[in-house]
Amino acid sequence: MTRATAQDYLWWEEFRGGLGLSGFCFTLVAGLQPAEVLERLAVKPDEALQAEGYIEVGPSEGGSVIVEPAGYMGIMRDAVHPLSAATVLASVHNNVDQHARFIYAVDGKVITGLDPMFPDEARWGAEPDRLLPHLEDLGLVDEFDEDDEEWQAPRGRFVEAALALAERCTGIRLTPEQVRGPLPYAASVAHLYEVRDGHAPALAW
């Protein structure tokens, strides 16, 4: 794992009032080129784009980056499992209600899942405590003062710390240029959002 820190992602401040408010999902996949990412998601870049389930995919040193505004494909079971098969994936998600989730998966299995805002309250997966030393090093645990009226960094900058954690897991660094886009490939993953038997898409556990 790399030694990325929240300081490496202070550029997120530029997006805090945009994607930071409307929601996002950033997914880093090691060892796969964008075409392989699209193939595993069963989509084609020339298909008609839709408002829901719109992603952009681009190459990055060590793999690929998936940027999805206002979506959560990167934490869905039906995306995490195929994308992480025989490789490593990390996703950082936050929605419009400020409900956040981080997923670290290896070879189709969620190793550690957590809420990057409150990772000391709930962690899950095959090895819930695998990333605990990194959480402590990044200041994501044991840094919250309940008597404080405002969150303090780095807890108040949980996105920056979560992105650093994702880089430590995958070796891939997300850049502001990638978030700003456009990335080389755009595709619809609306099929993953389909409600089946009255149930919304299952999240990765």
pLDDT tens for 68-107 read 999 999 999 999 999 999 999 999 999 999 899 999 999 9
**What three-state secondary structure class fits 79?**
helix
Assign 142 a pLDDT band (cuts: 50, 70, 90).
Answer: low
Phi, psi dihedrals of residue 56, rounded to the nearest 5°:
-120, 140
User: Where do the structural domains in the chain lie, given as residue ranges?
Assistant: 15-130+170-191
Q: Say whether pLDDT at 58 is over 90.
A: yes
90: its two tokens: 């990390």
| Mean pLDDT, residues 187-200 | 93
What percent of the chain has pLDDT above 90? Answer: 83
Question: CA quadruple 71, 75, 79, 85: dihedral positive or negative?
Answer: positive
Residue 51: burial class (beta carbons within 10 Å; 0-12, 13-18, 19+): exposed
- pLDDT value at residue 188: 92
Question: In whole numbers, what is the pLDDT of the chain averaged over residues?
Answer: 91
| Mean pLDDT, residues 42-71 | 88
Query: What gap in Å lies between CA 75 and CA 77, rounded to an integer?
Result: 7
Query: What gap in Å lies between CA 92 and CA 204, rounded to an integer?
Result: 13
**What three-state secondary structure class fits 144?**
coil
Residue-wise pLDDT for 103-127, tens only, equals: 999 999 999 999 999 998 889 999 9
Q: Say whether pLDDT at 174 is over 50.
A: yes
- pLDDT value at residue 15: 97
- Amino acid type, 14: E
The residue count of the chain comes to 205
Among candidates 198, 205, 138, which has minimal Cα distance to 168? 138
Assign 149 a pLDDT band (cuts: 50, 70, 90).
Answer: very low
- pLDDT value at residue 156: 64
